[in-house]
Chains A and B, each alone.
Chain A
Amino acid sequence: DVKVTQSSRYLVKRTGEKVFLECVQDMDHENMFWYRQDPGLGLRLIYFSYDVKMKEKGDIPEGYSVSREKKERFSLILESASTNQTSMYLCASSTRTGRSSPLHFGNGTRLTVT
């Protein structure tokens, strides 16, 4: 079974802090994704990566950056956390097929910025 592991389940940070959310997958998937989930808004794509050191902006990249130095690890970085970034963050991975393929999700990191 594919396992996508997010390093923290809950995180509380202060406004202005630099925040790192880590995600690791163990199935050698090429694609990795970061989504943000908010009530009434569903899941919105922040960034995705289809290969090591490759990244593309999703629908809401402002205020975020990402890093993918190894195939299995995809990090989401909040350069200067703000209260409007309080949310549930979901990492996902999938195989590279050239078309949309099912995503495998981690259990999420609930981030609170105070």
Chain B
Amino acid sequence: AQSVTQPDIHITVSEGASLELRCNYSYGATPYLFWYVQSPGQGLQLLLKYFSGDTLVQGIKGFEAEFKRSQSSFNLRKPSVHWSDAAEYFCAVGRDFGNEKLTFGTGTRLTIIP
């Protein structure tokens, strides 16, 4: 069965600093990988996804993520965070053919300090 680990429960960064949120997955074949963001009181919004091809994926709001098969990782990055990036971030893994469910990690809460 597929699984996702987000090792950081809570991260605090200064506004303007760079950000990296970690995500490790477990799945035997090529995974489909997603990052979602949840602002307070809201549902989840898709930031970016990886299905195949280029391992560096660009998303919305200036985020990017890199798929590293050798490390089973799909870390989310942003070069310079803004106060509006404060939210909870979820990594998710899916599969190709025959299974349209996603398995989510436990989330990383991001706090931005001035």
Interface residues of A (CB under 8 A from B): 4, 31, 33, 35, 40-45, 48, 50, 58, 90, 92, 94, 96-108
Contact = CB atoms under 8 A, between A and B. Distances in A.
A43 B42 contact: no
Given A102-B34, A102-B49, A107-B43, A41 B100 contact: no
B104 interface: yes
Contact of B94 (A50, A100, A105): A100
Given A43-B104, A90-B43, A98-B97, 7 more contacts: A42-B106, A45-B103, A99-B94, A99-B96, A99-B99, A100-B99, A105-B45
Nearest to A50: B100
Contact of A41 (B42, B46, B106): B106
Contacts of A100: 32, 94-96, 99-102
B98 interface: yes
A48 to B, nearest CB: 6
B90 A43 contact: yes
B93 to A, nearest CB: 8
- The majority secondary structure among interface residues of chain B is loop
B41 interface: yes
A99 B32 contact: yes
A99 B98 CA distance: 6
10 contacts: A41-B106, A42-B105, A92-B44, A97-B100, A99-B94, A99-B95, A99-B96, A103-B36, A104-B46, A107-B43
Contacts of A58: 101
Contacts of B105: 42
A107 B41 contact: yes
A37 B95 CA distance: 22
The 8 closest A-B pairs by CB, nearest first: A100-B94, A105-B43, A42-B106, A43-B104, A99-B96, A100-B32, A105-B44, A107-B43
Contacts of A108: 41-43
B104 to A, nearest CB: 4
A37 to B, nearest CB: 9
